[in-house]
Amino acid sequence: MFDNKKDFKETFERRLVEKYGRTVPDSHITERYDILGEMVRDFAGREWRASREEILDKNRRQLIYFSMEFLMGRLLTSNMQNLGIYEVARDGLSELGIDIGELEDMESDAGLGNGGLGRLAACFLDSIASLGYPGHGNTIRYEYGFFRQKFRHGQQIELPDQWLSNGFVFEVRKPKHAVEVKFYGEAETFIKPNGEYGLRTRNATCVRAVPYDVSIPGYRNGVANSLRLWSAEPSEHHLPTDQTFESYLQTLKELCHGLYPDDSTEHGRMLRLRQQYFLVSAGLQSVMRSTNTRYGNLDKLADLYVFQLNDTHPILAIPEAMRLLMDEYGYGWDAAWEIVTNLFAYTNHTVMPEALEKWPENYVRQLAPRVYMIIEEINRRFNIYLNEKGIGGAERYAMQIIKDGQIHMTNMAIYTVFSVNGVAKIHTDILKNWTFKEFYELFPTKFNNKTNGVTHRRWLMYANPRLSALISSKIGEKWKTDFEHEIGKFSAFADDPAVQAKVMEIKAENKRDFAAFVQKAYGFSIDPDSVFDVQIKRLHAYKRQLLNLFHIIHLYQKIKEDPSFRMTPHTYIFGAKAAPSYVYAKKIIELILAVAKVVNNDPDVNKYMRIVFVENYGVSLAELIIPAADLSEQISTAGKEASGTSNMKLMMNGAVTIGTLDGANIEIADFAGEENEVIFGLKADEVQSMVDNGTYSPWDVYNSDMRVKNIMDSLFSGPWCEGDQNRFRMIFDEIMSRNDQFFVLADFAAYNAACERADELYQDKKRWAHASIMNIGQSGYFTSDRTIAEYNRDIWRLGELQPKTTK
């Protein structure tokens, strides 16, 4: 490999000749990128091997993190930075006449995730490795990601995300670790060689699950873990006899085609279930097989491994683990149950009961008949336990695993796992006191909070090098490895005029960078001196992009009605994808784009505000937007957002939060000081009280606030309707006829006042700079390193690796 610039150049040139038969001058940029990627992957391979050897030599306990998505972003730069080879590579390439930035831009965002859930999982992998813990992700190798968003004729359309079109240089295919996953068939009784009865599945459709491993290097500590991507291939020994091979191949292709298939159809829902079972069965089989090979049994499986279930999607791992232990490894129910109940921990990511996953009994019975039998038995034994505790009536019904023809996955998880955690203080309190109240009263010691965090390495050190350099110049370098405790020292400079000026200068440079991107990508200009007002997150009604947009419409109407009206210039920046089957969310996107078209092309208005809706929002765009953001829109309905993570990334980069007391916003305001944020709106208990008592009607707001009436009426008659009064009727009906489920109108007046307060704060440059620096300096709690340390202390109990790498 290489350890200096000279070695790097020689290795790069040699590999280019060996693989492509080309010298540097006559090589193509794709060839150069591929060679650099392979060199980075192989450099990490040394740490990968050393970490694996220490795990095996010392019987280290390991974490398997099951998640349906990992929104990794680009890996080239972050891996080089974590490995400490970025400067060597950059300088070596420069001497070869190659700009490393051009190669970095060649990389596609890995299409393995969609929103906050997947980005959180990616941050966790970075922190797990950087803290030296042996922990590995498991997900599916989606060939076409979620989707590539395009805006055509003012609407979102979904195209395949062909992120693998040029290969994925960081993955290593490992066919020797392949396993077979069985779908469908029938469960039958048979007599074991020892004369006992057993159960097995016959006539199943077998799929070969092949792993592709991606190394996840920690930050300059010699540790490298794995992200394992499972891919479906034809079985080598058990091809189906009841369908054609072409039909069988189509079934396999569907499994790994894309993330979150359309669940508006029965076929799509069943495909989601098949994906979930494929992932957990493959991951469990791999771990159990290797453990049994090494130790001769699985008696100590729960000592050697812990499985974290990230949200409801991987909960089928629980009955599948029971099936494997009993049917494949000969354990009785009690012995298997003892292992399983000490093996799994569960993270909840939603407080809304309607969002908790449940599956029709017939789906699971058809897809995995033996697993369904085990779920029935878990439910039966749980009811015996409830009888022993004297629990009946409504409490018993609320906790049922199988009821009304549905299998309630979260109920099964809470009964089985040894740990249930929420992801922000308010979220966990709501889980305890409302969503899972009955379970909390029954199993209080299982519940705990682990407030989310984000990796400061990607979101501050690498995304915002100008600010990182300033921080290091003032407080030294220790913050890079101990962000939680060291970044707070930067708060001491909150009132230092020179530091204030430098922070604002860096923000201005980052804003100019984003403005240049907008000009190049979308062909219109934005004012870098305006407030960059940012709302970047998955499009969902409870996240209330609509509240932001209604305020923009209100400002537009004021400008048009009153020629003397003046406002602080704003650039409103949106980034969001709506799920393909989420028609209402897609209609909100259409309205944002329609309003943007009007605003951006009206000379009376566009000198005060412009709207940018970035296309195909993802990690790489976030890395450009977040360092440039002035104002962080975190305006979800109080009590609905579990945590949020864009709020943390924006805070780290000095943005001021305008938000409700929801999710991690509460803790952000606690740390940075509420005077350094702009907090508004109904609180979670007030929202719940209005729901319980039926005291809220959007018509009351409509009839009492002329601003609201004008906004809502504009959905039929505004210039964004382009003469079609039915174009946005759906949005009007959702708010007015379905009682404004997420209290958009209820919070409008408070939000409007909050926006005015934010503008006043922005006009006072010293106060704004103070608030920005306080947000940066008090963001230490929100590093995922802190979150992972808490998970490990309270749940995982992993030892720290200290591998010895060899050159």
Active site residues: 349, 537-538, 543, 645, 649
Which string of DSSP letters, residue by residue, matches 791-805? HIIIII-PPPP----
8 A C-beta contact, residue 658 and residue 676: no
Phi-psi region at 132: left, alpha or beta (left = phi > 0; alpha = psi -120 to 50): left
Sequence letter at residue 161? D
For 344, which DSSP code?
A: E
The rounded distance, in Å, linking the Cα atoms of 646 and 537 is: 7
Enclosing H/E stretch for 589: helix 583-600
Give the closest residue to 13 by CA, choosing from 88, 81, 92.
92
Q: Which two tokens stand for residue 546?
A: 């609509």
Residue identified by tokens 């950087």 is 130
Instruction: Write the burial class of residue 202 (CB in 10 Å: 0-12 exposed, 13-18 middle, 19+ buried).
Output: exposed
Q: How far apart are CA 297 and CA 287, in angstroms?
A: 12
Token couple for 464: 């915002």
Report CA torsion sign: 619, 46, 62, 332.
Answer: positive
Q: What is the residue-wise DSSP string for 147-204?
A: -EEEEETTEEEEE---TTTT--TTEEE-GGG-EEEEES-EEEEEE-TTS-EEEEEESP
Nearest partner of 589 among 574, 605, 601, judged by Cα: 574
Write the CB contacts of 747 (distance below 8 Å, at least 6 apart in sequence). 544, 547, 635, 637, 660, 680, 681, 682
**Can you read off the two tokens belonging to residue 494?**
């909150």
User: Tokens in use for 339?
Assistant: 């292992």
In angstroms, the CA 430 to CA 350 distance is 10
Cα separation values, 279 from 13, 122, 141, 201, 231, Å: 40, 17, 10, 19, 9
Please name the helix (run of DSSP H) or strand (run of DSSP E) that holds residue 188, with its range, or none. strand 186-191
**What six digits make up the tokens of 241?**
């006899």
For 155, residues 6+ apart whose C-beta sits below 8 A from its C-beta are: 586, 589, 590, 593
The contacts of residue 760 (CB under 8 Å, 6+ apart) are: none
Alpha helices in 368-431 (DSSP H): 369-388, 393-399, 409-416, 425-430
* CA Rg value for the chain: 27
Please, are residues 800 and 222 in contact by the beta-carbon 8 Å criterion?
no
Beta bridge partners of 251: none
Nearest to 622 by CA among 579, 666, 653: 653
